[in-house]
Structure 1
């Protein structure tokens, strides 16, 4: 975090919105920035799920088609909720509007997934350097610290870095996403570590998969991933 971003994090507790960031209902200074009603509207991913990637797969044959393109390095991934309109507003409040305390709320269902313990090392997905400078912080860092506060897991923000800037993944196909992030990371200091990658949203898993490969090549004993939300499946 930059010094300016650290200052904003401290000031945020005094510059409260006074209303739920999702629905606008009144909230007090000590209340979560997303009200309990809006949190209750987040849609958890239903069972049964793929044991590896957590994708709901009612009646799907083996192997899971969602994680079939992933490299072996990414052992397991889980997401807390679907990225519907309500969850998207929460992500945007953290990611673009600078409401850091939202991470405290998003971390609650993420912890329930059971991916993070005091024995795992939390490694946030690094942000494109230009975007980080413009935004002043990395939302994955903030989420990782919120998870650490609830689990006692250490956070390592320097284990994984970007080797180059990459265009946004938003409009890319799954194949283009994988090509876009190929060779985009470098890792160090993780030999023997049980790493859990942290990010806000899982779409195809291309970024997480490339990061996991890089960490495994650097000696990580295992690499999993946890995100707050998962992109909704396409409607056919």
Structure 2
């Protein structure tokens, strides 16, 4: 066994020399233990710290519309920022593993704030099946996988169905975004979620229209509680 581990370590080191893993932000080789993003770039990513603020701007987007327990976005999504590059590679570059890695980073930092306390199930906002076939994966599900790996909270990808393939929300106004997502989600087997605290997970929060449309599917479920977590928000 020890001999096998030594061979694996040697092979890993050899492959790292031939094909060095590089930070997706700065391009420098990653050190041992670093994933996707080097420590320096990770530290410099623009964090919101909204989870430390009661009645933060993300929570205020959903006040009075759903039975909200708590809500936050972890990073700021700024034009020209390093985080924008990371998200672009996640959504359009085929690098789905970035979602899981960022989900783990985010969850590890949120654990000390008790943000996940009492949450029973994680529901990533679903893509329409056609869009998921084209992309090959749902980036929000991969973010949720990273969160689940740290918290141990199970993921549910079956309860909410995206039944309409909508146009992209980019460049749409607030009102156009709301109209674009109206009635696009459908709840399956609501009885399985009765009495549970649900965490809805998405990649980027802009106006909150898509997230609200998804959460609205759950409001009639008996004794439901809803929290929201997105990887980033537009400042």
TM-score, structure 1 normalization: 0.78
In 2: Cα distance, 1:154 partner to 1:68 partner: 24
Q: Note the residue ranges of structure 1 that are not aligned, 5 or more in a row.
A: 1-13, 57-63
- 1:120 paired to 2:120: yes
Q: 1:21 aligns with which of 14, 20, 24?
A: 24
Q: CA RMSD in A?
A: 2.6
2:82 corresponds to which residue? Answer: 86
Q: CA deviation at 1:46?
A: 5.2
CA contact (8 A) 2:101 2:143 kept: no
Aligned-partner Cα distance in 1 for 2:49–2:143 = 23
SS at match of 2:126: coil
Q: Structure 1 pair 48/149, CA: closer, same or farther in 2 (3 Å)?
A: closer
- The 3-state SS of whatever aligns with 1:217 is coil
C-alpha separation between the residues in 1 aligned to 2:23 and 2:172?
Answer: 33
170-179 vs 194-203, which moves further:
170-179
Aligned to 2:97: 101
Whole-Å Cα distance in 1 between the matches of residues 49 and 146 of structure 2?
25
Which one has the largest radius of gyration?
2
Match of 1:5 in 2: none
User: In structure 1, what is the Cα distance between the partners aligned to 2:148 and 2:166?
Assistant: 28
Unaligned regions of 5+ residues in structure 2, if any? 1-15
C-alpha separation in 1, matches of 2:180 and 2:27: 38
Residue matched to 2:4? none
Which residue pairs with 1:76 in the alignment?
Answer: 70
1:161 — aligned with what? Answer: 161
The number of residues matched between the two structures is 209
**2:27 and 2:213 mapped to 1: Cα distance?**
38
Q: Closer, same or farther in 2 for the Cα pair 1:118/1:91, shift >3 Å? A: farther
Q: Deviations over 1:130-180 (max 9, x none)?
A: 221101100011111110000000000111111211111111111111111
In the alignment, which residue of structure 1 is the partner of 2:10?
none
The 5-angstrom pairing of residues 1-236 of structure 1 reads 18-27=21-30, 30-45=33-48, 51-52=54-55, 54-55=56-57, 67=61, 71-84=65-78, 85-107=81-103, 108-113=105-110, 114-117=114-117, 119-188=119-188, 189-219=192-222, 221-232=224-235
The structure where helix makes up a greater share of residues is 2
Query: Stretches of 4+ moved more than 4 A in 1?
Result: 46-50
- Normalization by structure 2: what TM-score? 0.79
State the SS of the aligned residue for 1:178: helix
Secondary structure at the aligned position of 1:123 is classed as strand
